[in-house]
Structure 1
Amino acid sequence: MPPSANAFSTLRARSYVVRLPLFTRVVVLVILLAWLVGLQQAWDVRKWGALDPTEISFASAYRINTFPFIHVNFLHAFLNILALTPLLERFETEFGTLTSVALFMGPLTTIPAVLYIVLETFLLRGNASVMGASLWVFLLLGVEAIRTFKSNPYLTLATWQIPTWTMPLIMVVAVTALVPGTSFLGHLCSVCVGYLFGLGYLRFLAPPEKVLRWIESKLNLLGRLPHYISVDRKTYGRFGVLPSSNHAAGGSGMTLVMDGPGQRLGP
């Protein structure tokens, strides 16, 4: 690759990272911090925060929200970050920072987690623990698949026409077959919840925009927080200014994986 082309690619990558919205930045940072904490031996952060059906109780319900941030190793965390960042960035840009925080720290994490626990415990009679941000990766892929299906229902491959909404399911099967120790059930639960959100059945779980606007105004979040995206995109646009061009971002799949007796969400 010519030096100029290499410099251009580096410049584009740097520009993309600089423009990442606030919640996406925080998620990536917490994933990296959780990996760093996991390097020490005094406290097993993976055992503490993984979604383990046998360990779920009132006192350990925090696991339903902590497990997406915890990963088996650096490669697992790095690959999940690569897959999650463009998908989460696109979601936050569309719905706003406060809405993203409310959904991903709430129903878009707890619903697939509880669904996994119920199916793993009572249907499969298993106790495999899972961890990793691929919960969010496959959920967002489900959301994107529904969006794509509405504008482009089929993907033509030779003489076959494959419904575009099935692509996340195909990826789940492929990842399960190619990456040992991945949780097929965990990925499947995430995709199904993503489908429901994409179809609009879970949109009622988002906080009312009137309330979010009041919070933004009361706390002056646009003025105080850099890279914050207002819930009222029509008035303020991205980062509080009207956008000059449409922003798009792609995404790729990720996995749920095993760590000893448990499984990780990612390779």
Structure 2
Amino acid sequence: MAPSFPQFNPMRLRSYIFRLPLCTRVLIAAIIGLWIATIPFPWLREFGRLEPAKMDLTQMHRLNLFPLMHLNFFHMIFNLIAVTPLLERFESEYGTLVSLALFTGPFGTIPGGVYTLLEKFVFRSNTVVMGASVWVFLLLSAEVMKTHKTNPSFNVGPYKIPTWTTPLILVLVTSFIVPNVSLIGHLCGAGLGYLWATGYIKFLVPPEKILRWLETKLNLLGRLPHYVSVDQKTYGRYGVLPSSNTPVPLSARTPDGGQRLGP
């Protein structure tokens, strides 16, 4: 009997895309839109890429744009496949406003700034970088630190490998098998992910009181589809959880006044 392989289901992919939260959609749209724009306007790629030798106070836009710019179609597609589920998971946990503030700000400017300083003053080089892979390794590092708490290590043959080192191993492997990849750039992204997971840079997030006030004042939950609230405990993932005013039959109640689950 021939082995059966999982078949690609376009309906599942379509359903997954339609369920993506708002900030993830915006960032994906920006990546695709900028790649399309570079076809008639190829100078946009030079305008947005991170080039250490050109960095000064007039070129700070590069720190925000370089994760959104890509060298070609395949570079963009591979990065989108890798970063989309990680972005979706991050936004589902922290909310749309937090994600938007971080990924349009410090999650690009900090690793980009550290990379620029290292290239200019330590390595005396001018390696140009662009692409969302810096976010891929940032988010992988943040996720693996959660896994490390429950599974501190995994076995590879006779060796025990600490779980938290997984992104660093992937950075090294990627730098060897993929041409024109910046090892230092990926390490800068991974380093920021570790700092985020350990809580040392949580001050980068705007105060929760301000975020709650904005959500309420602007009625973001009611106006924006696929918006993820800051207050996950109250609102769930996409707004206020549905409630029912239907009375619970006495036969369905437990002796302590709760509701019984099941028949």
Q: TM-score, normalised by structure 1?
A: 0.86
| 1:175 aligned residue | 174
Alignment of 1:86 onto 2:85 = yes
Q: Does 1:102 align with 2:129?
A: no
Question: What is the one-letter code of the residue matched to 1:83?
Answer: A
Whichever residue aligns with residue 43 of structure 2, its letter is D
TM-superposed deviation, 1:104: 1.1
What's the counterpart of residue 261 of structure 1?
A: none
Structure 1 stretches lacking a partner, 5+ long:
244-267
CA distance in 2 between counterparts of 1:38 and 1:109 reads 20
In structure 2, distance between residues paired with 1:55 and 1:106: 20
The percentage of aligned residue pairs carrying the same residue is 52
**Alpha-carbon distance in structure 2 between the residues aligned to 1:167 and 1:120:** 25
Q: Secondary structure of 2:154's match?
A: strand
Higher relative contact order (CA 8 A, sep 6+): 1
Match status 1:72 vs 2:71: yes
Which one-letter code corresponds to 1:131 in the other structure?
A: M
Match of 2:52 in 1: 53
Distance 1:195 1:43 in 2: 35
Aligned residue in 2 for 1:30:
30
Kindly provide the CA deviation profile for residues 82-114 of structure 1, in whole angstroms up to 9, marking residues without a partner as x: 000000000000000000011111112111111
Q: Which residue of 2 aligns with 1:16?
A: 16
Give the C-alpha shift of residue 193 in structure 1: 0.7
| The structure with more radius of gyration | 2
Aligned-pair Cα RMSD in Å: 1.7
Change (3 A) 1:47 1:222: same
Cα-to-partner distance string for 1:182-204 (whole Å, 9 max, x where unaligned): 10000011101100101111111
Number of matched residues? 239
Distance apart, 1:14 and its partner CA? 1.9
Paired position in structure 2 for 1:112: 111
1:1-267, aligned counterparts within 5 Å?
Answer: 6=7, 9-40=9-40, 42-242=41-241
Secondary structure of 1:68 counterpart: coil
Runs of 4+ in 1 over 2 A off after TM superposition: 9-12
What secondary structure sits across from 1:125 in the alignment? coil
- Measured after TM superposition, the shift of residue 10 of structure 1 is 2.6
